Chain A
Amino acid sequence: MGRTAEQWKQKPPLPKTHYVDTRVYTDEGIFEEEKEKIFAKTWMLACHESELPAPNDYRTYHHPAGVNLIVVRGEDDRVRSFFNVCPHRGNTILYSPSGNAKRMTCIFHAWSFDSEGNCVGLPREKAGYCSGGDCSVSRDDLGLREVKTQVGYGGFVYVNLDDGCEPLEDHIGPALDTIIEQIDTEPLEVFSYHRAVVNTNYKLWHDTNSEFYHDYLHVHNRLTSMKQEGYFERKMIPYPNGHAEVGSQEVHYEAYEGGKGRAEAGFPGVEGNPWSLIDLFPGYSYNLRASVLRVDSQIPLGPNKTAIEYRSLGLKSDTVEQRRQRVLDNQTIWGPFGRNLHEDLLAVDGQGRAIQNGSRYVLHAREEDSTIHDEVGMRHFYAEWSRRMGRLAGDPTKAVALEKPARA
């Protein structure tokens, strides 16, 4: 029987941790608060070190807190990050998404900076700033704003806008331990990158990566995983700070038309065709399917708009044949023409539309002993979200003080 308007608005008769008020996906004020309380204070994944192979190589990154950054490898091989903002008149310094610049020069007035953020070029400096003999401005005061940067966990470049932030290791904790051998034994390399801008909230994409009940969406996963032995024994494992892991399973790729095993081009320590997925708070995921590591990182652009960056990686030492195999494995389900990614994006785009137009609560209530269709991964994420925001996801109108994560 359908529900009346009044019934539709009623909170679900469930524990407060088992549903989410959809205003956390739509409210402009909550989104602005997330930028301040979460994105500006959390380690965010900016790029991969293979995108900066040589000294003075750079990448630009639009940080979810709303700041454009430059990530650059110094001549000392250290990777640093800076605001992509000229301290003179606030122009963008680097316009290209990547490149190599011994001097990063603003096109506006030709102020230039080195890879350590020092101001090293200032046209007509003495004429403008030292006309009376004493200089009114020193280059030492004109350096770029540097941002905390660490490289790790497969060679990814993480940045944090908070100068007083905890170390990256404290944020990640043990969440990536089960795949650390695979991703940290030898250097990785990105071989495919694209981004999708979708009219949905970033948390909804993270939710999609955090629950596998939606395998019903994918015929590929139904055939290669759900119908195979071991699928329903896979465990969802919550980690501190809102991270969660989906336990591995041997995937039978040959069960899908034209599919075949991926063991020929694996990662160190990988045997057969395992599949591990680890979701890191607040919006990135490591997804390792034997021969390809896909890493998603989100750049929320508004309450109902997010840019999702997709990187697919193999080993830097790949032979031509190994790389070709990884590319072929990647395209079957991932990439903009892959079978699964399009389905996931279709679903999350539909969620974005529904949640803007009538959805009131979403349920995270499945409990199956923390196995694959248990929705504990999402509950664990929102416990951390609530702690950081000081609001319950199930009732965001009331501020609450939560020192420790709410029960998942």
Chain B
Amino acid sequence: MTIRAATRKDLDTAVRELIYRSCLRLDEGDFPGWLELCAPDLRYTITAYSPEIRQEMTWLDHDRDGMEGLFKMLPKHNSDHSPLTRHASVYLVEVDEERGEAAAVTSVVVYRTALDGGATDLFAVGKYFDNINLEGETPLLAGRNVRLDTRELGIGSHFPL
């Protein structure tokens, strides 16, 4: 199926599958696989609003090269390897066929499961605001803003959400 030949419903489904697949690959720690879902002009950000300082904040902001570098260095860092699990619900998909792109809003809840004992705790809640490139054979993630409601993140994380 090419994007141009696809029906609106096909495109909507393809976008949803892309988002869910992106969650699965991060859950599995398959970072090269996650990058395969991303466009060359990817921009990935994690942001939040602070009511304490009444300002927008950016906690992670990388292009595709930056994400590749981040993944490359992960094995050299000390980190909490308790796995993160993302539960996503795609709320909205808006396809712009003229521009060959789509925008999607996804509610996401991230849990952390302790390696020792297996207890699962809530890590963060927020939304993905995604821009998706529809011009190729398959949809590609061109922009993801992880917009966090949770601002108190315990010991934090080295992993993208």
Contact = CB atoms under 8 A, between A and B. Distances in A.
B73 A196 contact: no
Given A198-B155, A337-B156, A342-B157, A97 B52 contact: yes
Contact of B152 (A194, A217, A345, A349): A194
Nearest to B59: A335
B73 A339 contact: yes
Q: How large is the interface on B (under 10, 10 to 19, 20 to 34, 35 or more residues)?
A: 20 to 34
Interface residues of A, number: 37
A262 interface: no
Nearest to A345: B155
Interface string B10-36: 000000000000000000000000000
A338 B61 contact: no
A336 interface: yes
A140 interface: no
Interface stretch (B76-84, B89-97, B102-110): B76-84
A51 B52 contact: yes
Judged by DSSP, the binding face of A is mixed
A336 B78 contact: no
Nearest to A216: B78
Given A257-B69, A342-B158, A219 B61 contact: no
Given A219-B73, A336-B157, A337-B157, A193 B53 contact: yes
Contact of B59 (A217, A336, A343): A336
A253 interface: no
A182 interface: no
Given A196-B154, A337-B60, A346 B53 contact: no
A191 interface: yes
Given A194-B152, A331-B61, A343-B79, A257 B52 contact: no
Contacts of A217: 78
Interface in A122-178: none
Contacts of A196: 152-156
Task: Indicate the member of B54, B65, B157 with the most A CB atoms within 10 Å.
Answer: B54
Contacts of A256: 73
B40 interface: no
B4 interface: no
A359 interface: no
A197 B51 contact: no
A258 B65 contact: yes
B74 to A, nearest CB: 9
Nearest to B46: A337
A343 B77 CA distance: 8
Contacts of B160: 337
A197 B52 contact: no
Contact of A341 (B60, B66, B156): B156
B7 interface: no
B6 interface: no
A98 B73 contact: no
Contacts of B70: 258
A190 B55 CA distance: 9
Nearest to A344: B155
A328 interface: yes
A346 B78 contact: yes
A197 B152 contact: yes
A377 B114 CA distance: 34
B50 interface: yes
B161 to A, nearest CB: 8
B122 interface: no
Nearest to A53: B54
Contacts of B65: 258
Given A337-B156, A337-B157, A339-B158, A346 B46 contact: no
A379 interface: no
B76 A219 contact: yes
B58 interface: yes
B57 A191 contact: yes
27 contacts: A51-B53, A59-B52, A97-B51, A97-B52, A98-B51, A191-B55, A191-B57, A192-B57, A194-B50, A194-B59, A194-B152, A195-B151, A196-B152, A198-B154, A219-B77, A257-B72, A257-B73, A258-B65, A327-B61, A331-B59, A331-B60, A336-B156, A337-B60, A338-B59, A342-B155, A343-B79, A346-B155
Interface of A: 50-51, 59, 96-98, 190-198, 217-219, 256-258, 311, 327-328, 331, 335-339, 341-343, 345-347, 349
Given A191-B55, A218-B78, 14 more contacts: A98-B54, A190-B53, A193-B50, A193-B53, A196-B153, A217-B78, A219-B77, A336-B59, A338-B156, A343-B77, A343-B78, A345-B156, A346-B80, A349-B155
